[in-house]
Structure 1
Amino acid sequence: MSLSRITRFPSARLLSSIHQQLLLPPVGPLTVPTRAVIQGEYRRPGKPKENKFPWQKINFNFNKGLEGIKKHFMLLKTEFSDRWVGPEGKPVLEHMLEQNRVMWEFRGPESLEEWTVSSDHEIGGQSEAHLRLGKNNTCFLYGNLSSTPPRDGETRYSGYCTMRSKQPLFSFDRKKHHDWSSFNTLHLRVRGDGRPWMINIATETYFSHQRDDIYSYFLYTRGGPYWQDVKIPFSKFFLTHRGRIQDDQHHLWLDKVNTVGFTLGDKADGPFQLEIDFIGVCKDYAHTEEFAYEVYKRNPEV
């Protein structure tokens, strides 16, 4: 600032004198801190920080490594043999004429290893979910639902329990997808306690921001000692993203199905149980509906 401007504006002359008396350095332009290139994993409030390097969490076990190599080579052998016989080891003609297929059947403890159970206990909630084999060789999911949110000062809603199938893998941990394009209905035999559940189907996505897209529909259990056969057409499943129904709906992609899950979140605190005999898919020729919801056509027909 020049001397002529300082004498012209008394306020500027006063600020200049104060600046010289305090011997402050000249104020430069404001600098905005740049974001770190490597960002750590999100940590919930109240969760202790792990002061470990990433390689310290790896279990360097020689026997476990040999078992993994043997497992992947057996899967690779199965892949080559299935290519000669047919899809999934079945002849091509049998695969084309197939009308019913049982995807998950609970007949032993090893069948439960294909599923994972989680609840809001992972984020500080009080809900609990457990999975075990039933008396009649069935999947028995039970626990206690609590909608009390954790005291972390951030979470406002809580109260859910989920059971989800694991992602099928080829040899060397390559993704494997369920191809249900020949079927149009989800068929399962369950016995519940009268609570409403959500059936979730996750498919392969093309973009990273779609990884939370899930197709959902309702499962209403009757309760009581009797089993119920439930058939839900795939045309009834609607698209959701992180629990929110999307305006732009589209068909369920049946050629690349990854996982199937069951979610309980009816805000009714207390014990729950769900028993599953089998989960399968079928071809219902009486069902001719293509899609049950409105689809936005970008190029509508005139």
Structure 2
Amino acid sequence: MSLPKISLPSVRLLSSIHHHQQQLLLPSTSPLTGPKRAVSQGEYRRPGQPKVDKFPWQPINFGFSKGFDGVKKHLALLKKEFSDRWVGPQGKPILEHMLEQNQVLWEFRGPESLEQWTVSSDQEIGGQSEVHLKLGKNQNTCLLYGTLSSTPPRDGETRYSGYCTMRSKQPLASFDRKKHYDWSSFNTLHLRVRGDGRPWMINIATETYFSHQKDDIYNYFLYTRGGPYWQDVKIPFSKFFITHRGRIQDDQHPLWLDKVNTIGFTLGDKADGPFQLEIDFVGVCKDYAHTEEFAYEVYKRNPEI
């Protein structure tokens, strides 16, 4: 039986394919070329954020004067803490603290009052929204304004965007220890605001007992009327519901008022365009006519038969 004849071009084609297969199987001997510090820059950086090419300790000021001023500041705070304990809670007489029915927590009467707040928007994730905070025309209010844009960043991950937030800073005691607000004597949040008709979300963050609860926030809605007139808003704490990273939870429970950390205002109504919210003060009060404990259904894990 005679074998079929193979032409010379076919032999050359087979030899070239075999040569290429050997090159693919053999490890590459050429040195790998890559950008500098490719190993240390392993964190993902979203588009639009500037590239930080500094070591973590370079922005830190190691001056002796800064450390001395910091120790002097914290010793003064520690002294105030000891003196307030002899006077009463928060430096008030105990009788005044017991009979107090209204308390103003934040009011805006100068530039130093704005230092207690911080603003942020979706620009942190590559969005296009802008938010600013300044004093009002009469220097007695704060004006939160900006432009909302729901266009998501083109990073291949983010699908939704468009939010602006104003949040109070965490109060700190001496030596940067966490300090909490105790609102257990009150049952209502009292605001005096003037908006442009947009709905806002009020966020209250409390101290958690477990690490997986650090993203739990209590929320309720703030509906502004718009126009030139101020509106006094009173929201009972029983109306606040708990969310985890923006998702409403099935297991609801009342707001923990004994250890409140921060309060914030978030706009995310998907209506692109300018916005503004003017705030006179934020406080708490005791409404004796309100007797509701919790406005939502509470699930029992082991119901009685």
TM over 0.5: yes
Structure 1 residues 225 and 202: CA distance shift in structure 2, 3 A: same
Deviation, 1:262, is: 0.0
- What is the CA–CA distance in structure 1 between the aligned matches of 2:229 and 2:162, rounded to whole Å? 27
Structure 1 residues 41 and 238: CA distance shift in structure 2, 3 A: farther
- What is the CA–CA distance in structure 2 between the aligned matches of 1:198 and 1:97, rounded to whole Å? 31
Q: Is the 8 A contact 1:191 1:228 kept in 2?
A: yes
1:58 to 57, 60, 63: 60
Name the Cα RMSD after superposition: 2.0
Q: Which amino acid aligns with 2:136?
A: G
2:95 pairs with 1:96: no
Match of 1:162 in 2: 165
For 1:40-59, list aligned pairs within 5 A: 43-44=45-46, 47=49, 49-59=51-61
Deviation, 1:135, is: 1.6
Structure 1 residues 88 and 155: CA distance shift in structure 2, 3 A: same
Structure 1 residues 175 and 52: CA distance shift in structure 2, 3 A: same
2:135 pairs with 1:133: yes
Deviation, 1:45, is: 5.1
State TM-score, norm by structure 1: 0.84
Match of 1:81 in 2: 83
State TM-score, norm by structure 2: 0.83
Deviation, 1:207, is: 1.4
Deviation, 1:77, is: 1.1
1:234 to 233, 237, 259: 237
> Which sits farther off after the overlay, 146-155 or 217-226?
146-155
Runs of 4+ in 1 over 4 A off after TM superposition: 38-42, 45-49
Deviation, 1:159, is: 0.4
Deviation, 1:139, is: 0.9
Deviation, 1:124, is: 1.0
Deviations 1:214-243 (A, max 9, x none): 000000000000000000000000000111
- What is the CA–CA distance in structure 1 between the aligned matches of 2:287 and 2:44, rounded to whole Å? 45
Q: Which amino acid aligns with 1:297?
A: K
For 1:128-207, list aligned pairs within 5 A: 128-136=130-138, 137-207=140-210
Q: Which amino acid aligns with 2:224?
A: T
Deviations 1:233-279 (A, max 9, x none): 00000000111100110110000000000000000000000000000
Aligned length: 268
- What is the CA–CA distance in structure 1 between the aligned matches of 2:44 and 2:113, rounded to whole Å? 32
- What is the CA–CA distance in structure 1 between the aligned matches of 2:283 and 2:154, rounded to whole Å? 41
For 1:187-266, list aligned pairs within 5 A: 187-266=190-269
- What is the CA–CA distance in structure 1 between the aligned matches of 2:99 and 2:122, rounded to whole Å? 43
- What is the CA–CA distance in structure 2 between the aligned matches of 1:255 and 1:42, rounded to whole Å? 39
Deviation, 1:156, is: 1.0
Q: Which runs of 5+ in 2 are unaligned?
A: 1-21, 26-39
Deviations 1:16-58 (A, max 9, x none): xxxxxx9x9xxxxxxxxxxxxx997664356455343322231
- What is the CA–CA distance in structure 2 between the aligned matches of 1:184 and 1:256, rounded to whole Å? 14
Deviations 1:194-221 (A, max 9, x none): 0000000000011111111100000000
Match of 1:267 in 2: 270
